[in-house]
Amino acid sequence: MKEIDIYTLKDEFKLELLAGERGLHNKIASEDLHRPGLELTGFYRFFPHERIQVIGKQEMSYFHSLFPSMQKRRLNEYFRLAPPCVIVTRAQTEIPYFQEYAEKYQVPLLRTTDKTTNFISEVNNFLEKKLAVEQGIHAVCVNVFGVGIIIRGQSGVGKSELALSLIERGHRLISDDLVILKRIGPVALIGSHNGTNKEFLSLRGIGIINILRLYGSGSLQNETKINLDIELVPWVEGTYYDAIGREENQKNYLGIDVPTIQIPIRPGRDVASLVEVAAKNWRLKQEGYHAFKDFENRLHDQTNE
């Protein structure tokens, strides 16, 4: 199970530390956040103690309605259960006894100026990506007309050269050689780089080039949702290659099926154009138009005339 520590969260969102500094090494393993409503009334039976706790104005308003003796009792019970951290939103300063009990149990007490709902949404998105199940594959990842594409094939088949041709046509590189795939939610697959190979493209005979320096910021993208998988294969005479598109094949990554096609490579083929057409054709299918079905219907109509 992947984890991140509170230090990482604090730095990412520039949170102010109010108490519980020794707890900054606490680990977060859940992408969900929790607003303690029932807990402030004393009900803890289903308290998700493994989640980040967020206290907005609503929770604090109720807390202020309690007598001081009850406030202390509730906070002692709350912090004693040791959640990974407690974050107060909207830069609230009237937080009686919170620092005292956060320090007592060494639970990091943090504060943000953000609104509660905005903050929860941003942190949830951040944790989804950080804690997502991931897989590294030997491939190239590009974004063509807004379509995220994995380009696979054996070493030397021309994946990086194809990526360069696409970049020169105005499309964007995500990653070369090593693509990091992350599963976000039940059906979303994100492709990214590993940080080290960001901006770089490796070309046989030339070496490593920096795409950002050569083509500008518009040639790069940090990540993309994966929509299509393309496998490049050497052209073998006498082999049948599908030129109709009757079958729609799938490639599975992390439990998510991605439409896949195979493009045979031989001298003279404009593979970059083929990838562009594949991206446009994928978009048409998402809009409900299938060229093969249209062609098949026309043949059927002519046959019945």
Question: 49, 57, 115, 138: which one is catalytic?
Answer: 138
Query: Who's near 125: CB < 8 A, 6+ residues apart?
Result: none
SS3 18: strand
Angle at 175 between CA 172 and CA 176, to 5 degrees: 110
Catalytic annotation present for 300: no
Rounded to an integer, what is the distance from CA 157 to the centroid of its chain? 29
Is 159 among the residues known to form the active site?
yes
Are the C-beta atoms of residues 51 and 30 closer than 8 Å to each other?
A: yes
Neighbouring C-beta atoms of residue 55, cutoff 10 Å? 24
What distances in angstroms separate CA 20 from CA 106, 184, 271, one per listed residue? Answer: 4, 32, 58
CA distances from 185 to 195, 231, 243 (A): 23, 26, 35
Catalytic-labelled residue, pool 114, 159, 171, 229: 159
Annotated catalytic residue within 72, 104, 177, 198: 177
State the DSSP code for 220.
B
**138 included as an active-site residue:** yes
Catalytic residues: 138, 159, 177
